[in-house]
Structure 1
Amino acid sequence: HNSVIIDVYSTKYHDGVYECYAGSSSASLRLRGEDIVVLPQGFRFCHKAENSACDHARACMADGTGRTSCVCYPGWSGESCSIPRDIEKANLINAPICPYWPPVITLMVFIGCVFVLLVCLYNFRIRPKHSKSIRCHDRRPHNYTSVRSKETLTKVDV
């Protein structure tokens, strides 16, 4: 039977998950220490039903009349320790304003690409069938006439 005793316990350095072994079996245990709570004169720790009055409390204490008070964890405040004092210490994560923005942006880009593709296909289909190239053609009909000359060309030595 081996055990480890931590004499000067600090929640900053010693809290965490510890692996415990006994023979061939093992278990992971989470250790979360608490400072010793010293109750004021005339108070006692809460009973089971009274503990529900405190949300994020290290301890619940009750006076002689049954009125409960809570000793809050760091980062929490309020009568029942339900108000976060510091968001980072309370480990709360604010949800983004629009948590779905990456899929929305992706969908918008996809729709834009499909639109551009459809415009290109439409322009390709309305192109004249006889056109084999992408050059601009003059669509006016050409009236060429053949020109004949009665003069004969002769070679002249210079």
Structure 2
Amino acid sequence: MGDGYRGLFGAFPYAFTRSESKLFKTYVVVGGLAAGLLALVFALAVVVVFGRTAGMQGGSLTLSRSFVALIGLLSVLPVVAPVLLVARARRKGEVGSPAYEPLLAVGGYAFLLSLYLVAIASMPETFVLDGETMTRPQPSGVFAPVVAALYALPPIASPLIALVPVGVIAAVQRWVS
């Protein structure tokens, strides 16, 4: 079977070459780079967490190590999902709507933006960086109202921001394909 994409890494070139949407092709490139960067950042974060907790024992440490890996997985999966969905649909010949690929690209780009917004919303008012107590910057500029609204969210609710684009991707897959 020479027309298959053979897994995650093969899905990117397969979706890029088979797609008819220029917007989606840009997402394949940007999403692939973003997924690789996110995977690298979270892999390094897991190494740092293991390094800082290597001499300690206990159940809560195992939980914190697993939590970092889980957050990494939950960050990377929605980035690669549109590419995997299009690769699968193209391989099976199930792309029925011309809007399918562009809408998945919009959902993917929206998820990437939401990761940035989650980072802003979850930033504590004060934090320690390299031994120095820092305060988050005051909102200014054109996006000051948006940043102020994100700061006003409780930090525990900040991951909910990323659920909206994930819902868009799921809705496109369910009703547009």
Q: Quick check: which one's strand share is greater? A: 1
If asked which structure has higher relative contact order (CA below 8 Å, sep 6+), I would say 2
TM-score, structure 1 length as denominator?
A: 0.21
Where is the helix percentage greater, Structure 1 or Structure 2?
2
Q: Which structure has the larger Rg? A: 1
